[in-house]
Amino acid sequence: MHESLNSLAGLFALQSMNTPLEDIRCGHCGRKLAEGRYTELSIKCPRCRALNHFRATSHDPSTGSANKKDIPDA
């Protein structure tokens, strides 16, 4: 059982590595703030000072990525 969990975790890690990183942009001015994957993230834009909240609405284990919901506070 323990070995099957390790192989499943390894498979998930490989799938995540093959998935390209997503651009994370300000919802107010569109400036690129970061690149990566997230489940929940709050980040302030240095250009327009808007506070951006990003939250994954669901997770797709077959691709290793999350469906996103962008909620800018500006």
Q: How many domains does the chain have?
A: 1
- Domain range for residue 38? 2-73
pTM: 0.56
Q: What is the pLDDT of residue 61?
A: 57
Residue percentage of the chain with pLDDT more than 70: 55
pLDDT tens per residue across span 9-45? 555 555 556 788 999 999 999 999 999 988 999 999 9
> What type of residue sits at position 43?
I
